[in-house]
Chains A and B, each alone.
Chain A
């Protein structure tokens, strides 16, 4: 294993800028890593070997002329295969789009390239991003690098696995009910869902346009912030994006004195695995030892709001897929077929009431969070289960039973998952922080401080453990 592939974006970027390693060398090392480990974990639908090397050569030439595009100059980054890539097929994890070669990049991909990132490949995902397991009937299941018999979480499972195994320094994912944060937690990496409106969704095949978010996945919180700073920004082609300049970067804190974290136990600890709960409780003690105060708070209307999320997501996704379903229904996986049946029954009245309920809940939650920096709790409440054990009828509820991520989507608030420890079976657990609108930098800052206080976790996260895909020589 080449240790440089597990360094931070900051360290690898500095090595490139100081000409200790060239973009071509780093890209080739990353491709070698992919050749070695990809057969074990199936993280990619398309590895962009030729395109990546062409891009790296151009970036190398620029460096020789003292041109540095930005913090990602020469850094290999993966992109979830639901975001368009110019000249490279974009499947959405679906058979229906297997032949589509877009003529334009998605907004986030365009910004990554402008900042010098080398797009290394298109990461596997749950079909159309509509599930939590990344068991894809068309492109195969992605495997958890900590135990290759387990799911990596989803829907951005390939992105999380590529990041965890040194096959990319980070990835861009999408998150409609937890699809960035859940796989990040289950693979021992970092995932950040920005405030709704901070990152453009242009060029992303939609799932549910009022809940969809695009965001960074990385190995450290600082790396996620570096990527977010690159991909954020107003876009006239995504009417949800905001014009305000949302701050992202932060200085690391030495402690969390004065930080107040709200904890709503009835939601955060409901149906939690005992092992996972123990890990999260230890993380709470660590936050307190850093000076943070964990305060019990109430979230009135949360159950109605989460039911509203289900109604909104299902209505919007049926609206997107209806024309395709009529003609190509046979090309969808069994779990998606079941989801579409459920969504078709929701009336316009129920949908509009759900949107209304959502607004009320946002207002109420902002009030409840007065004086609170962020909500705190687990990302995943269950360890990843065995691949192949998902029942199609249960797929729709997986995101709700595996994690506590949907709350931040119905709110649209910024939410971070940061690695915080392992179950007794050596499977990663994620700690979740949910901030108020446009306090993305604050959430990242708190997460960064926690992460820096747990160097053993951080070190382990960069080397998936004994018996795992990235360390074994099977």
Chain B
């Protein structure tokens, strides 16, 4: 069963509504894009 289905077997509807089981906020990755990440060029030999 899915996680939600399992939780329905152990929590009531009201309790389940409050459960934050999936990412509802993620870290703002744009901050990574604002600055160059490259330093020395990637080297393969």
Contacts and interface: CB of A to CB of B under 8 A. Distances in A.
A181 B18 CA distance: 33
Contact of A258 (B3, B5, B27, B40): B40
A322 B26 contact: no
Contacts of B39: 260, 369-373, 436
Interface string A359-395: 1001100110111110000000000000000000000
Name which of A323, A372, A437 has the most chain B CB atoms within 10 A of its CB.
Answer: A323
A103 interface: yes
A57 interface: no
Interface string B30-45: 0110111111101111
A441 B42 CA distance: 9
Contact of A359 (B6, B19, B24, B28): B28
A209 B26 contact: yes
B23 A240 contact: yes
B31 A359 contact: yes
Size category of the binding interface on chain A: 35 or more
A251 B2 CA distance: 41
Given A209-B24, A240-B29, A437-B37, A258 B18 contact: no
Contacts of A250: 42, 44
A436 B36 CA distance: 9
A206 B21 contact: yes
A67 interface: no
A450 interface: no
B42 to A, nearest CB: 6
A28 to B, nearest CB: 31
Nearest to B16: A323
Given A197-B29, A439-B37, A96 B45 contact: no
Contacts of B28: 359
Interface string A196-209: 11000100011001
B10 A366 contact: no
Interface stretch (A35-43, A135-143, A324-332): A324-332
Contacts of B19: 320, 322-324
Contact of A242 (B24, B29, B35, B43): B29
Interface string A92-132: 00001101111110000000000000000000000000000
Contacts, number: 114
A438 B37 contact: yes
Given A206-B21, A209-B23, A436 B37 contact: yes
B29 A103 contact: no
Nearest to B11: A323
Contacts of A438: 32, 37
A238 B23 contact: yes
B2 to A, nearest CB: 6
B25 A210 contact: yes
Interface in A210-264: 210-211, 238-240, 242, 247, 250-251, 253-254, 258-260
A327 B45 contact: no
B31 A362 contact: yes
A325 to B, nearest CB: 11
A367 B35 CA distance: 8
A100 B9 CA distance: 10
Contacts of B35: 363, 366-367
Given A97-B6, A253-B43, A320 B31 contact: no
Interface of A: 84, 96-97, 99-104, 195-197, 201, 205-206, 209-211, 238-240, 242, 247, 250-251, 253-254, 258-260, 316, 319-320, 322-324, 326-328, 355, 358-359, 362-363, 366-367, 369-373, 412, 436-439, 441-442, 445
22 contacts: A97-B6, A100-B3, A102-B2, A103-B5, A104-B2, A196-B27, A197-B29, A250-B44, A254-B45, A320-B20, A323-B15, A327-B10, A328-B10, A359-B31, A366-B32, A369-B39, A370-B39, A372-B39, A412-B32, A438-B32, A438-B37, A439-B42
